[in-house]
Amino acid sequence: MIRRRSRLTLLLLLTCAFLFFNLSTLPRPVPPPLPPPSLDPGRIFIASNHWNSESILRSHWSDAVTRLIVRLGVENVYFSLYESGSWDNTKDALRELDERLEKLGVERRVVLEETTHVDEISRTPGVGEEGWIVTPRGRKELRRIPFLARARNRVLEPLFELQAGGGRNESFDRLLFLNDVIFTVEDALTLLNTRNGEYSAACSLDFLDSTKFYDTFALRDINGRPAASLSYPFFASGPSRDAFLLNRPVPVRSCWNGMVVFDAAPFLAPSNLRFRGVSDSLAEWHVEGSECCLIHYDNPAPDKGVWLNPNVRVAYRAKGWELVRQGVGWPGKWDRAWGGIVGFVTALLRLPWKNEKVVWRVREWGGSEPGVDCLIDEMQVLVDNGWKHL
């Protein structure tokens, strides 16, 4: 008994010593870099999908996107928004936004559809229609990711149509996707200026209502690994974490994280990049991958790299936003001290572990999937009030 207590005491002392050492040897936090020289981002196509987002539209989003468009210059922006099936007052909030943009003379398309999730899952799929799967519940159900991919492609339709029209002002340089997140004009401009515009894609860092990272489904580090931890510093050891700790643009293989900007060229002819899900035949093996991850692995022009900008932090709720926004000093000393422990433990355990079950299933499936890094052990289907894991 005494020996066991001695071991526990020793372990506690070692832990305290490690924490003290971590705190006492922490370098000063690297301040955010000075704003880069104002970059002319060219013409920007802003795209956004919405579903039941009335609250954040009225509290933050509509004002922020309006200010952003004015800051970029109305003549430099096309705004496209697609909403479908909301049961709150999202449509009313979007009609109000549409009226504001009309007064400003913004080129735009705002689509508000009445089709609900119930309508989508109740219909009979066409012969050979992709995106449906026979689930363990013994019935054919609509897969979530192909549904979301179609919605993202739908919001891009004006981009494709304007290019096909060949008008003098109908080409675009950047494609900016905005989720229903809290952001500022400065956040968006900083993201557009990532690496002085030298990127295939660049994304923010997103949170929900705490300092825990949110979009683990889409993020893969430069080695194709998912986040090692939801807590700071998020990444496993390697180039991605090294850059993150230095507050520099972080090289990654994929990300979305609430706000992402792409070089628009791959989405236009002749490449015609589009969002997609994995094939139904692979999904039958209880494997799924985010359309927001797969898009990067499908990108035919990845040479400029995908980058996470640690100075651009957005959140889905006000509580999370107040914890991480620019100017509040996040990460603080204790965040960084705890991050040292997280980094030590994840390195010791060699996290994240490779999901051998998924690797085996893909091998047994026998097909080709370029975005294997994106895959997780899940089956996701649409339900009347959202989506469900099976």
Percent of the chain with pLDDT over 90: 78
State pLDDT tens for residues 270-283.
999 999 999 999 99
Mean pLDDT across the chain: 91
Separation CA 7–CA 164 (nearest Å): 72
State pLDDT tens for residues 229-264.
999 999 998 999 999 999 999 999 999 999 999 999
User: Residues 173-179: what's their mean pLDDT?
Assistant: 98
Separation CA 73–CA 155 (nearest Å): 21
Is residue 64 pLDDT above 50, yes or no? Answer: yes
CB 340 within 8 A of CB 334: no
State which H helix or E strand residue 311 sits in. strand 306-315
Q: Which pLDDT belongs to residue 271? A: 94
Q: Rounded to two decimals, what is the model's pTM?
A: 0.91
Q: How many CA atoms lie within 13 A of 315 on its CB side?
A: 18
One of 3.30.390, 3.90.380, 3.90.550, 1.10.3470 is the CATH number of 43-389, namely: 3.90.550
Structural tokens at position 180: 């229903």
Is residue 319 pLDDT above 50, yes or no? Answer: yes
CB 83 within 8 A of CB 51: yes
Q: Which pLDDT belongs to residue 26? A: 46
User: Residues 137-152: what's their mean pLDDT?
Assistant: 97
Structural tokens at position 331: 């990460």
Categorize the per-residue pLDDT at 25 as very low, low, confident or very high, splitting at 50, 70 and 90.
very low
Percent of the chain with pLDDT over 70: 89
Separation CA 318–CA 207 (nearest Å): 10
Is residue 157 pLDDT above 50, yes or no? Answer: yes
Question: Which of 59-73, 120-134, 345-359 is least confident?
Answer: 345-359
Is residue 169 pLDDT above 70, yes or no? Answer: no
If phi > 0 it is left, if psi is from -120 to 50 it is alpha, else beta; for residue 250 that is beta
